Structure 1
Amino acid sequence: MNPRWQKLLKEYVEALAVALILALIIRTFIIQAFKIPSESMLDTLLVGDHLLVSKFSYDIKLPFMEKSLMKTGDPQHGDVIVFEFPEDRSLDYIKRVIGVPGDTIQLKDNVLYRNGEKVDEPYKRLDPHGFGRPNFGPVKVPDGQYFMMGDNRDHSQDSRFWKEDKRFVPREYIRGKAWVIYWSWGGPLDVRWNRIGTIIK
């Protein structure tokens, strides 16, 4: 092979290897893409929204393992997070943090009470034709676990409905905090330009 072409090929291979390593590092430690498949988080998130999830908001973990190298923060009330579904860890879910360890959670006629105090939820959506559970609890959130609910309360399978022994999300199941919408469409010819770049709150 011509030495010039050999050198060029080597440079391309090295550049590709570096790009792959960087992509692996970014996906493992920094961000992960996630697509919204259901209406459980309306109106905050729409079906067809594509998100970036910050993986270092709460922990830095070893690649391909659950072990945390360093804790960087704790999930807070109202955070929208991606996590492994407690009843089937092969599935990723996205919901809002409603209860943190030690909280007592109760619903009365679709009104949320946390530790006996009424909680204002501007993101909440109700649908009288849904399958909601307007009354629930009280339940106490165990240490190291979280109580999750969808914003679209009457169309969300969440901690209210999961099996009693899988009701809460262990911290180690959390993949990261939903950060920003980088793409959104309702169909091939329906790009929602106004949603692109929206920070998730």
Structure 2
Amino acid sequence: MPFNLSQKKSKPLWREYGEALLVALILAMVIRTFVVQAFKIPSESMMETLLVGDHLLAGKFTYGIKFPFTNSYIYNGKDPARGDIIIFKYPNDPSVDYIKRIIGLPGDVIAVRNKQLYRDEQAVKESYVRFTSPNRIEPRRDNFGPVTVPPGKYFVMGDNRDNSLDSRFWGFVDRSAIRAKAWRIYWSWESFSNIRFSRLGKHIE
């Protein structure tokens, strides 16, 4: 008996929608786990590079892809570099994500003298840095170190140096705690009535 296409039973509509939703959820989980992470800027510690209300995408594959819930890598990406803006697990509370700029790599000697950053005894020029209290000098914040960054660790600081709790206060970031590299702003606003259209799609550097 020849097969009649008209005899083939179609799936119920609820099942078709259910399967499509399931595929979409699985795809979203894969992207969230291995490809990109969405992040919202909650504080002023990275001004003027990143503003409160910026929503950004961060590449999770840049520094390698880990097996879920482990520190073992499926794919080893490139090593973090000086100047990279990274999202990482806060050392004092790994359930919280922080975002800062990498200032020191393993082996670097980092010091701050009267707000000026020094790396290996050389003054570092930083065009992105902002000082809200340029004439006020405070210990530890504005005079720090020198410290040598240990193997497998990174020294990070916020661009808004007078308003950033960073490696000067709580120490180094472990390589395994780095989750992603900040990539691009996809949304930015101060309020519903003040959307920063000029920042949409801006590459982060």
The alignment's TM-score, normalised by the length of structure 1, stands at 0.92
8 Å CA contact 1:99–1:114 kept in 2: the answer is: yes
**Counterpart check, 1:139 vs 2:161:** no
* Displacement after TM superposition at 1:12 (Å): 1.5
Name the Cα RMSD after superposition. 1.5
- C-alpha change, 1:131 and 1:13, in structure 2 (3 Å) is farther
8 Å CA contact 1:145–1:170 kept in 2: the answer is: yes
Q: Distance in 2 between matches of 1:27 and 1:193?
A: 25
Match of 2:183 among 171, 179, 184: 179
Q: Distance in 2 between matches of 1:198 and 1:128?
A: 28
Q: Distance in 1 between matches of 2:110 and 2:55?
A: 30
Match of 1:94 among 96, 99, 121: 99
**Counterpart check, 1:112 vs 2:120:** no
Q: Distance in 1 between matches of 2:107 and 2:154?
A: 9
Cross-structure match for 1:15: 20
Amino acid at match of 2:153: Q
Which blocks of at least 5 consecutive residues in structure 1 are unaligned?
none
Q: Distance in 2 between matches of 1:66 and 1:39?
A: 30
The alignment's TM-score, normalised by the length of structure 2, stands at 0.90
For these two proteins, the number of residue pairs brought into alignment is: 194
Structure with the greater alpha carbon radius of gyration: 2
8 Å CA contact 2:114–2:137 kept in 1: the answer is: no
* Displacement after TM superposition at 1:131 (Å): 8.3
8 Å CA contact 1:131–1:154 kept in 2: the answer is: no
* Displacement after TM superposition at 1:71 (Å): 1.2
Map 1:1-201 to 2 at 5 A: 4=10, 6-128=11-133, 133-162=141-170, 167-201=171-205
Seq. identity, %? 56
8 Å CA contact 2:66–2:74 kept in 1: the answer is: yes
Which blocks of at least 5 consecutive residues in structure 2 are unaligned?
1-8
Q: Distance in 2 between matches of 1:139 and 1:80?
A: 21
Regions of 4+ moved over 4 Å: 129-132
